[in-house]
Structure 1
Amino acid sequence: MNPNLSKTIEQVLLSKPVSENRKEILKPLIDFIQKKRDQQQEISINFICTHNSRRSHFAQIWAQTAAAHFGIDLVSCYSGGTEETALFPKVADTLTSQGFSIFKISENDNPVYAVKYDDNAPAIVGFSKKYDSLFNPVSEFAAVMTCSQADGGCPFIPGAEVRIPITFEDPKSSDNLPEQDEVYYQRSIEIASEMLYVFSMIKR
């Protein structure tokens, strides 16, 4: 694990407890992961938001990192949207400040990013795509709805084994305001806290 990222994780675990209400919301995801692990099956999770530009990427990257941190193998995390846009640059900036190594693989209207939590680990590929993109799994996955718009607008996700609403407030509300950096930083930390909690509850 990247040293600065390890420090961020340590701080999150020490200072950002998950509320009892949120623990209940997270329980279906814990149950899905545990069931797959008990059956020694691949664990695929697709985090879905409207634009696949902010919250779904934070969740995908932190969930994959949390799985590695707690030694839960056979986990593959993805993200998608109800429409394709682009990963918002502030997301990459925020994750970099928290210890991830991030670089662009392509330069276009929808750039592709490589995100690494460890120099020797495979990169997490980050770019905006629809939830049913061929890049994502087509069956036997958990569809985690990270925003209320996507949750309400997509009552059915083809191929999903389970559909789990775990929504977060959109940091987009702070764009171009003085508090933008802090809002994105704290939203990332909030999502990190919950994904770390989820994988800390998995029995090996």
Structure 2
Amino acid sequence: MLQKLLNTIQSLHWTEITTDRRKVLQPLMDFIQKKVTEDEEINLNFICTHNSRRSHLAQIWAQAAAAYFTIPRVHCYSGGTEITALFPKIAETLTEQGFAVFSLAETDNPVYAVKYDNNSMPVIGFSKKYDSHFNPISGFAAIMTCSQADGGCPFIPGAEKRIPITFEDPKLSDNTPEQTVIYAERSLQVATEMFYVFSKIRK
């Protein structure tokens, strides 16, 4: 694990999750635990409307949490109900919090590689639909990270389980003096909750 990222992780307080959020996160914990117990692949697809902010944060922090707690065979993906672009502030925020973020393609829909360890496989970040060929087609948990996508997609083809875990959109702070702080806070909230989830998994 990269040292700066470890420093961020050590600042998280995942044992202090509120009771209400623990209830929200329990179905994801149950899904992961069932897969671990049955020695099966764990495919998690984090879904938001634009696949530009919250779904990427959740995908990347969940993959890092799985590695931190050495939970094997976890594969994290993300998608949207439409294609836009990974918002640059997300890449900037993750870099500031300790991930190594590399640009692979500079287009209208840029592609990034995100690493939590020098020897880890990178998470590939770009905006795509939830049913993209890049993502699994069956046996996965569809984690709905925004209420709009949760309400707008009542059925996710191939999903074994659908789990709403919604977060407030940091986009509300765009073009304001609070943007950097709000994006950092949202990222750390997502990180804290993903680390709580994986800390509870019994191997």
- TM-score relative to the length of structure 2: 0.99
Q: Deviations for 1:66-85, whole angstroms, at most 9, x for unmatched residues? A: 00000101000000000000
C-alpha separation between the residues in 2 aligned to 1:201 and 1:20? 15
> Residue in 2 aligned with 1:157?
156
Letter of the 1:104 counterpart? S
Deviations 1:126-180 (A, max 9, x none): 0000000000000000000000000000000000000000000000000010000
Q: Tell me which amino acid in the other structure corresponds to 1:7.
A: N
C-alpha contact (below 8 Å) 1:132/1:138 kept by paired residues? yes
Report if the CA contact (8 A) 1:115-1:123 is conserved. yes
Segments ≥4 residues shifted beyond 2 Å: none
Give 1:172-183 correspondences, 5 Å limit: 172-183=171-182
Decide whether the 8 Å contact of 1:17 with 1:193 is kept in 2. no
> Percent identical across equivalent pairs?
65
SS at match of 2:4: helix
For normalisation by structure 1, the TM-score amounts to: 0.98
Structure 2 residue aligned with 1:80: 79
The answer for the alignment partner of 2:9 in structure 1 is 9
Pairwise CA distance, 1:88: 0.1
The root-mean-square deviation of aligned C-alpha atoms, in Å, is 0.8
1:99 counterpart SS class: coil
Distance of 1:114 and 1:17 partners within structure 2: 31
Give structure 2 stretches of 5+ with no counterpart: none
Q: Which residue of 1 aligns with 2:192?
A: 193
Task: Write out aligned runs for 1:134-173 (5 A).
Answer: 134-173=133-172
Residues in 2 aligned to 1:27 and 1:98: alpha-carbon distance in whole angstroms: 26
CA distance in 1, matches of 2:40, 2:167: 28
Distance apart, 1:87 and its partner CA: 0.1
C-alpha displacement of 1:47: 0.2
Kindly tell me the number of residue pairs found equivalent between the two proteins.
Answer: 203
1:22-171 superposed matches below 5 A: 22-171=21-170
Q: CA deviation at 1:202?
A: 0.1
Q: Structure 1 stretches of 5 or more lacking a match? A: none
SS of equivalent to 2:60: helix
Q: Output the CA distance in 1 between the equivalents of 2:24 and 2:172.
A: 24
- State the partner residue of 1:203: 202
Deviations along 1:33-72, whole A, 9 cap, x unmatched?
0000000000000000000000000000000000000010
Offset of residue 101 of structure 1: 0.2
Match of 2:12, SS state, is: helix
| 1: CA distance, partners of 2:108 / 2:77 | 20
1: CA distance, partners of 2:197 / 2:22: 9
Q: What's the offset of the Cα at 1:13?
A: 3.2
State the secondary structure of the residue aligned to 1:114.
strand
Q: Secondary structure at the match of 2:105?
A: coil
